[in-house]
């Protein structure tokens, strides 16, 4: 059983845009929000916006947001009723969830047993297979090359080597020829050990040009489980999502119903409570297979909120209070189309190399149907210690065509100066004929965007704006404050804004 109870105050054990997003819903619910902040985050937006901030020191995640002792000490100091982990960091740490409940606090997430079961990919596969959910043909844990070779012969190439203890693209290798297997096995085990503290890996049949389709599920502690339809997350770099949308153009009514039922069965088989996501691989033959279950709030949850009219964080809190879900499956509807772009401080022309520095100027997109969940502000420092995601830009349209057009306009009007970002790259992804045609398999970026470079005119604009946004060493404020340089900056900024409004 999961602990439920009254919630009047919540410690948000996270940072950045997700911490701020959770705090905003807590404010609407008149629940006191408490956040923690590391040394680099002393002036981060989430630290400046919560009802209370507790500084826990440290720079690296291990010294701050992953330090369970510091998080629990902050919860005790603030005398909160509950802990919300957001996503990442400790969100899928079963031991931490158990410790929170043992401390007498409500954990705003699934039971520790469900986190543990779904966090082990081999246990998850076995659980899903027993529940009748389709799973990709695969192997047990591989410990030596001989066993790997025998399993590879049984399953057949192409194959995917995967880490058993984690995701996010770590410990993953595609094997197309049996001769590649020994080196790939060694590399995958080494990377898995470094990322997750375990070198356990296994083989799966590799599905060529699949789509990545996930279903949002919600379950209460009274036995009710529903799904809130699908999200397509096929556009990825290094196995990490950068564009998500709902609904998926690949699903018709019959396939959507089958996958939705499978997602609900998967959640029930895991003994799931609260919000979670069941992820599937959809092949070109329209057969789908269980991939994994994310036992937390997803980065891309806003597109479900935009189309279903549901605040998922509010639902999480309600479930954690012990409340029953307010609807049955047949009562849940949606309308329109939503797209999310993850904006990273990365240079897409340099293999998405992370960028850091101070945000010298910022112009965020706005207007009907535009939502920007961000963790930065003008003057904020983007450090090298944490994930480089700056914001989640979300748009809503009555149909996919209007949503895509709105996203392109929003991206073209979005300016973050002082560091490299993925904004111009994302604008070209959404405007690409293949995206507009719905050809959005997981090979989209290597197939259509390989060797991408910033267009000459866009690069010139960016360079001019960046130069003009630098401090004026003559004492007159920002260098764009006046004179010819100020006029040039204004002209460029005005043109950027004009394009964003087209």
What is the C-alpha to C-alpha distance for residues 31 and 50, in angstroms, rounded to an integer? 11
Find the Cα–Cα–Cα–Cα dihedral 99, 102, 104, 109, rounded to 10°: 50
Q: Which of 51, 45, 52, 91 is nearest to 68 (CA)?
A: 91
Sign of CA dihedral 4, 7, 10, 14: positive
Alpha helices in 57-176 (DSSP H): 68-78, 94-102, 112-119, 121-130, 145-155
Among 14, 20, 57, 13, CA closest to 376: 20
Contact 154/145 with Cβ under 8 angstroms?
A: no
CB distance 92 to 296 below 8 Å: yes
Find out whether 434 and 449 touch, Cβ atoms under 8 Å: no
Strand partners, 337: 397
What residues contact 79, with CB distance under 8 A and at least 6 apart? 9
Q: How crowded is the C-beta side of 54, counted as CA atoms within 13 Å?
A: 23
Q: Active site includes 296?
A: yes
Give CA–CA dist 192/194, Å, rounded: 5
Question: How many of the other CB atoms lie within 10 Å of CB of 364?
Answer: 17
Dist. CA 62–CA 65, nearest whole Å = 7
Give rounded-to-5 percent helix, strand, coil for the chain.
40, 25, 35
Measured in degrees and rounded to the nearest 5, phi and psi for residue 79 equal 55, 50
Count of C-beta atoms within a 10 Å radius of residue 450? 7
Which residue bears the tokens 């190439």? 157
Among residues 296, 371, 406, 409, the one annotated as catalytic is 296
Give catalytic residue positions.
296
């Amino acid at each position: 059983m999961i602990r439920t109870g009254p919630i009047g105050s919540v410690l948000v054990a996270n940072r950045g845009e997700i911490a701020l997003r959770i705090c905003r819903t807590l404010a609407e619910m008149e629940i006191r929000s408490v956040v923690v902040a590391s040394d680099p985050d002393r002036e981060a937006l989430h630290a400046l916006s919560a009802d209370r901030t507790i500084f826990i020191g440290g720079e690296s995640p291990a010294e701050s947001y992953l330090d369970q002792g510091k998080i629990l000490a902050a919860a005790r100091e603030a005398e909160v009723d509950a802990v919300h982990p957001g996503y990442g960091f400790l969100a899928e740490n079963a031991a931490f969830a158990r410790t929170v409940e043992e401390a007498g606090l409500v954990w705003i997430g699934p039971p520790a047993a469900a986190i543990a079961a779904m966090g082990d990919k081999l246990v998850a596969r076995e659980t899903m297979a027993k529940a009748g959910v389709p799973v990709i043909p695969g192997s047990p844990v591989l410990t030596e090359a001989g066993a790997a070779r025998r399993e590879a012969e049984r399953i057949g190439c192409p194959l995917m080597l995967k880490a058993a203890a984690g995701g996010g693209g770590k410990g993953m290798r595609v094997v197309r020829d049996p001769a590649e297997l020994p080196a790939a096995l060694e590399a995958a085990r080494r990377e898995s050990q470094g990322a997750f503290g375990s070198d356990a890996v296994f083989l799966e049949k590799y599905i060529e040009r699949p789509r990545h389709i996930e279903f949002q599920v919600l379950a209460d502690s009274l036995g009710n489980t529903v799904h809130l339809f699908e999200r397509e997350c096929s556009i990825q770099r290094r196995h990490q999502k950068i564009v998500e949308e709902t609904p998926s153009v690949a699903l018709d009514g019959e396939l959507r119903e089958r996958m939705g039922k499978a997602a609900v069965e998967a959640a029930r088989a895991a003994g799931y409570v609260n919000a979670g996501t069941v992820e599937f691989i959809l092949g070109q033959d329209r057969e789908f297979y269980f991939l994994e279950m994310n036992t937390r709030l997803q980065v891309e949850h806003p597109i479900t909120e935009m189309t279903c009219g549901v605040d998922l964080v509010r639902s999480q809190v309600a479930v954690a209070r012990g409340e029953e879900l307010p609807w049955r499956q047949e009562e849940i509807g949606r309308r329109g189309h939503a797209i999310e772009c993850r904006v990273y401080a990365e240079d897409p022309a340099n293999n998405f190399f992370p960028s850091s520095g101070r945000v010298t100027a910022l112009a965020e997109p706005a207007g009907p149907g535009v939502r920007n969940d961000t963790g930065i502000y003008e003057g904020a420092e983007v450090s090298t210690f944490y994930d480089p995601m700056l914001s989640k830009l979300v748009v809503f349209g009555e149909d996919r065509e209007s949503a895509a057009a709105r996203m392109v306009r929003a991206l073209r009007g979005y300016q973050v100066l002082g560091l490299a970002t993925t904004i111009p790259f994302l604008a070209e992804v959404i405007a690409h004929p293949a995206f507009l045609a719905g050809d959005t398999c997981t090979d989209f970026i290597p197939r259509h965007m390989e060797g991408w470079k910033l267009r000459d005119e866009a690069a010139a604009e960016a360079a001019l704006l960046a130069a003009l946004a630098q401090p004026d060493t003559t004492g007159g404020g920002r260098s764009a404050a006046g004179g010819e340089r100020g006029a040039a900056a204004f002209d460029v900024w005005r043109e950027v804004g004009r394009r964003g409004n087209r």
